[in-house]
Amino acid sequence: MGGNLNDDHMSCKEKILSSILSKPTTFMKLVSESKCATETVEKYLSIHLTNGQICQKKGKFRILYSPELNEFDLDFFELMLNPTIKAVTLVLLKSNALSQIELVAISDKSNPSVSRALKLLLDKKLIRRNYHAPYSTYEMINKNKIFGYLEKTSPTIAENFDQFDLCYPKPSIFLTVHN
């Protein structure tokens, strides 16, 4: 059986398992993509969790994932659930070092949310800060490593990354199309 969630011949139980094993997801996204009732999804998740076929992490979001996914990939997936962090990460993956003001302009996000995103990315040691008095620029520390995380956790974005243009369409449009 392929991982195509639009296959009407797959049962809800199969769709749910197939989806989670192909990439991590949130509970709400799983309900939406599988087109199965919330109660049905909950019932099959319980079975898959009991059988050890899938794992879950509860925090701000309920994340469901394959037992084969490593901790770094899971942390990256959880980080990318924040739209501003996702936007800043994708822009920095596609560009050289940028200032916070440039990131605000390109990502179409507010200055305070970009500031919080940069702090989190710095804390996770995914980006570096370059000081140039009176301003700073930010850049990815290891683009290949970050792209590897993206391939495992957000294959749709990774596969369409070459079409992502910093000028047109706006990154915000790209991010909504490939949620």
Residue 137: which H helix or E strand, with range?
strand 135-140
Q: Within a domain: residue 142?
A: yes
Same domain as 38, residue 96: no
The count of domains in the chain is 2
Q: Within a domain: residue 120?
A: yes
What residues form DSSP beta bridges with 98?
A: 138
3-state DSSP percent of the chain in helix, strand and coil, to 5 = 55, 15, 30
The residue ranges of the chain whose pLDDT is under 70 are 1-9, 167-179
Among 47, 68, 89, give the residue marking a domain's end. 68
Same domain as 173, residue 99: yes
Q: Within a domain: residue 7?
A: no
- Alpha-carbon distance values, 137 to 86, 93, 103, 131 (Å): 18, 14, 10, 7
Distance CA 47, CA 14 (A): 12
pLDDT in the model for residue 21: 94
Same domain as 90, residue 59: no
pLDDT in the model for residue 177: 44
Q: Tell me the CATH number at 49.
A: 1.10.10.10
Strand extents, DSSP E, the chain? 25-26, 55-58, 62-65, 98-99, 127-132, 135-140
Same domain as 60, residue 98: no
Q: How far apart, in Å, do the first and last CA atoms of the chain sit?
A: 24
Among 43, 68, 93, give the residue marking a domain's end. 68
Q: 130 with 137: CB under 8 angstroms?
A: yes
Same domain as 83, residue 59: no
Same domain as 107, residue 58: no
pLDDT in the model for residue 160: 87
pLDDT in the model for residue 170: 53
Same domain as 113, residue 45: no
Cβ contacts of 2 within 8 Å, gap of 6 or more = 18
pLDDT in the model for residue 35: 92
Same domain as 91, residue 52: no
pLDDT in the model for residue 9: 66
Distance CA 89, CA 174 (A): 13
pLDDT in the model for residue 167: 67
Same domain as 142, residue 113: yes
pLDDT in the model for residue 67: 95
Domain boundaries, position 120: 77-177
